[in-house]
């Protein structure tokens, strides 16, 4: 039986978070079970609202459904929405374990009146509901904006593509942000990258300090899912 993964513990090799955005939505539970059986550590669920990101993907019922079929899996929810504060309770109830929201939508980024609300208030609410909290920066946002929150969050997610779609090309220029986060973050923070991660780009990502890798199309688009998952796991972290 699987034991629930604790992402607050520093892993010895990169964690592989399979993004189900490229799975077959007609046989979602089966695809999830398959990748977990192949050694994937957790599932990454991309929620988009058609406003913050130019796509509509999945909502709370998908998280509920995956949780129902896989009671022990760690579910990492990536909210690419304008108002992440509105859904914390619903996703906690649906079974999410980590709830990550974008810095760009918060009042911390935009000033008062921003739709996303205050980051510290949201982190507190996420924790009170028993989830770990993550904050995300787009390719155009400095990682330093996360500095005030690094004591409180467990995931610092650096986008290596612009939010929206699977299958985009990895942006190597964001690796500098990962290096900086690796230097300044405590062991309780996972440094996650999302977008264009596959067996080649994972080597640079891990070397920069990324210890939680999201991957969708490199896995589901390959005819050797297990081989890709293994390659991501085997990407050496800095010593
Ligand atoms: C992009 C999503 C990603 C996406 C990754 O907006 O946040 O999680 O599914 O897909 P790949 O690995 O194909 O770049
Ligand atoms: Zn994502």
Q: Give the pLDDT means over successive 10-residue stretches in the chain (239 positions).
A: 84 98 98 98 98 98 98 98 98 98 98 95 98 98 98 98 98 98 98 98 98 98 98 97
> 70 exposed, middle or buried (CB, 10 Å; 0-12, 13-18, 19+)?
middle
What backbone torsions phi and psi does residue 156 show, to the nearest 5 degrees? -115, 110
Instruction: Confirm or reject: Cβ of 161 under 6 Å from ligand 1.
Output: yes
**Does residue 199's CB lie within 6 angstroms of at least one atom of ligand 1?**
no
**Ligand 1 in reach of 196 Cβ (< 6 A):** yes
Residue 195 is classified by DSSP as S
**Which among 46, 61, 86, 118 is annotated as catalytic?**
46
User: Which value, to the nearest 10 degrees, does the dihedral of the CA atoms of residues 120, 186, 143, 153 take?
Assistant: -30
Q: Which helix (H) or strand (E) holds 203?
A: helix 201-208
Asked if residue 16 lies in contact with residue 233, where contact means CB atoms within 8 angstroms, the answer is yes
**Which residue's C-alpha comes closest to atom 9 of ligand 1?**
166
Neighbours of ion ligand 2 (CB under 5 A): 46, 78, 194
214 lines ligand 1 (CB under 6 A): yes
Cβ–ligand 1 distance for 115 under 6 Å, the answer no
Which residue segments constitute the domains of the chain, with CATH numbers given?
A: 15-233 (3.20.20.70)
Please identify, by atom number, the ligand 1 atom nearest to the C-alpha of residue 44. 8
- The predicted pLDDT at position 3 comes to 66
pTM of the predicted protein model: 0.98
> Looking at 194, 211, 223, 234, which residue is catalytic?
194
- pLDDT number for residue 239: 86
- Tell which atom from ligand 1 comes closest to the C-alpha of 195: 14
Confirm whether 151 is a catalytic residue: no
What is the 161 CA–ligand 2 centroid distance (Å)?
10
**CA–CA separation, 213 vs 197, rounded Å?**
7
204 is catalytic: no
């Amino acid at each position: 039986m699987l034991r629930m993964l604790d992402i607050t513990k520093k892993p010895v090799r990169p964690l592989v978070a399979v993004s189900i955005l490229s799975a077959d939505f007609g046989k979602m539970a089966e695809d999830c079970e398959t990748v977990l059986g192949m050694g994937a550590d957790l599932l990454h669920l991309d929620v988009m609202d058609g406003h913050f990101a130019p796509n509509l993907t999945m909502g709370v019922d998908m998280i509920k459904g995956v949780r129902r079929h896989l009671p022990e899996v760690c579910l990492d929810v990536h909210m690419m929405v304008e108002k992440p504060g509105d859904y914390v309770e619903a996703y906690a109830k649906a079974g999410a374990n980590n709830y990550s929201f974008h810095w760009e939508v918060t009042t911390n980024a935009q000033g008062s009146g921003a739709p996303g609300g205050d980051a510290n208030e949201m982190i507190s609410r996420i924790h009170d509901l028993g989830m770990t909290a993550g904050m995300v920066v787009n390719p155009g946002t400095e990682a330093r904006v996360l500095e005030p929150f690094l004591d409180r969050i467990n995931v610092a997610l650096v986008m290596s593509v612009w939010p929206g779609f699977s299958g985009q090309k990895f942006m190597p220029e964001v690796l500098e942000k990962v290096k900086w986060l690796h230097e300044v973050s405590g062991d309780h923070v996972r440094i996650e990258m999302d977008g264009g991660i596959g067996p080649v780009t994972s080597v640079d990502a891990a070397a920069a300090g990324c210890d939680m890798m999201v991957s969708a199309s490199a896995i589901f688009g390959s005819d050797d899912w297990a081989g890709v998952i293994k390659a991501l796991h085997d990407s050496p972290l800095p010593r």
